[in-house]
A = this chain, B = another copy of it.
Amino acid sequence: MSFREDGAAALEWAARYLERVGELPVLAQVAPGDIRARLPAAPPEHAEPFADILRDLDEVLLPGVTHWQHPRFFAYFATTASEPGILAELLVATLNNVGFLWRTSPALTELELLTMDWLAQLLGLPEGWHGHIEDTASTSTLATCIVAKHVTGRNVVVCSEHAHSSVDKAARMLRMELRKAPVDGDFRMRVDHVDVSDAAIVVATVGTTSTASIDPVPEAAEAARDAGAWLHVDAAYAGAAWVCPELRESIAGVERADSLVVNAHKWLLTPMDCSCLWTSRSDDFRDAFSLVPEYLRTPEEVTSLSEFGPALGRRFRALKLWAVLRCFGRDGLQAAIREHVRLAALFESWVRVEPGWEVVAPRHFSLVCFRREGSDAENEALLERVNATGEIFLSHTKLGGRYVLRLAIGNARTTEVDVRRAWDVLRAAR
């Protein structure tokens, strides 16, 4: 193949995709098995041209793609792979560095530590924390539970009933006991309603998945300290907001955390995967994970980032975070976050004044939880109807047993026109 020629075609495909993604149905309109059925069951015997990949990407795969880059993707937590992040991934793959030791790529190791420091400064975190990148918040949480178990010798995970399922999953994988605190009327963890005394770890969430509610981190920190437990703050989505000083109310208490996760691939314009994990207790992380067999010993006296988490092999993910932080700058990141919060507030205001609709949880950051008057079944059917239009894609949750719609704004291409369209589609689908 000609790398330049095929590369130019791939790049043009990418450029065109980003231009037209808003015209595609946001949620893939296919049935299970449709895509696979259109592809050969056996692998090719001989080389095929790269152009065929691009052709089949359009003709076969694209109808089965749910468009996360679509400006009207409002499901889960909406994300953005920004242009600098995308191009950085091209560079990451080209270099193909595997940073399991410092010497296998000093630049990877040192840039990762530096960009994590940069991001810590942007978010207003305490100085001196050790930051490294994991693939997903699931892994960050799992890693943290491993460390907490290692450090405390205990086996109980405490979180709220609104904590992310990755906490449940980590506890299950590690065979730890999971103890869930109830939440108050605003879906915040009631730390005083759960026994923390024998906890290995307390997980407080800033920006829960269902409603973006904010657990009282100072109280959780207090309880964890009294119990000798680890305090982990899961701000996978909402931590990004701290780049804006006016959105830092929710950072209170985070300075007392033992660890913190913020996913740059959620609301910080970075392509999957880039889960940013900081700890104020890096020695404990290293104690839990460091394991250097003979074939990985090197003369340098330097720590390697694989000593801070489960995986040995590591991609050069720092390069994309670095590219994003530089190509947006502090004010660029702030502008993106502020616009999303503004749009969510706007949508919320529309729902509030519309007869037959209600906002069902306090709006935090860029997430609005709402529903139409009527039964759960009606709301569920409504959601499926609007998603089937291909115009917008929303997801749901349950609050107090009721089926609730969620509109999450997080794509950099989303404009007020898109949010207005979402509202129009929702009302038209009544």
Pick from B50, B107, B172, B330: contact of A35, CB under 8 Å: B107
Q: What 0/1 readout, one digit per residue, does chain A (286-328) give for beta carbons within 8 Å of chain B? A: 0011011111100111100000001111010001101101111
Residues of B within 8 A of A12 (CB): 4
Pick from B43, B69, B119: contact of A121, CB under 8 Å: B43
A429 within 8 A of B: no
> Taking CB as reference atom, which chain B residue is nearest A396?
B295
State whether A47 touches B332 (Cβ < 8 A): yes
Residues of B within 8 A of A53 (CB): 84, 88, 322-323, 326-327
Residues of B within 8 A of A27 (CB): 103
Residues of B within 8 A of A83 (CB): 1, 3, 6-7, 50
How many residues of A are in contact with the other chain, CB < 8 A?
139
Which of A91-99, A185-193, A349-357 is near enough to bind chain B?
Answer: A91-99
State whether B10 touches A15 (Cβ < 8 A): no
Residues of B within 8 A of A330 (CB): 43-46
Q: What 0/1 readout, one digit per residue, does chain A (95-129) give for beta carbons within 8 Å of chain B? A: 11110001111111011011001110110000000
State whether A81 touches B64 (Cβ < 8 A): no
The interface residues of chain A, by DSSP majority, are classed as helix
Residues of B within 8 A of A384 (CB): 299
State whether B96 touches A68 (Cβ < 8 A): yes
Residues of B within 8 A of A118 (CB): 42-43
A166 within 8 A of B: yes
Q: What 0/1 readout, one digit per residue, does chain A (147-172) give for beta carbons within 8 Å of chain B? A: 00100000000000000011011001
8 new A-B contacts, CB < 8 A, other than A47-B329, A93-B320, A169-B289, are A13-B91, A64-B105, A75-B104, A98-B272, A135-B311, A137-B312, A294-B396, A295-B396
Per the bound structure, the CA–CA distance linking A110 and B17 in Å amounts to 21
Residues of B within 8 A of A322 (CB): 53
Per the bound structure, the CA–CA distance linking A11 and B165 in Å amounts to 39
A259 within 8 A of B: no
Per the bound structure, the CA–CA distance linking A16 and B249 in Å amounts to 48
State whether B39 touches A87 (Cβ < 8 A): no
Pick from B46, B289, B329: contact of A48, CB under 8 Å: B329
A271 within 8 A of B: yes
A30 within 8 A of B: yes
Pick from B79, B91, B96, B271: contact of A10, CB under 8 Å: B91
A423 within 8 A of B: no
Per the bound structure, the CA–CA distance linking A369 and B302 in Å amounts to 27
Pick from B8, B43, B84: contact of A325, CB under 8 Å: B43
Instruction: Using known A-B contacts A68-B95, A106-B30, A329-B47, determine if residue A89 contacts B89 with beta carbons closer than 8 Å.
Output: yes
Residues of B within 8 A of A175 (CB): 149, 174
Q: How far is the CB of A2 from chain B (nearest CB, A)?
A: 9
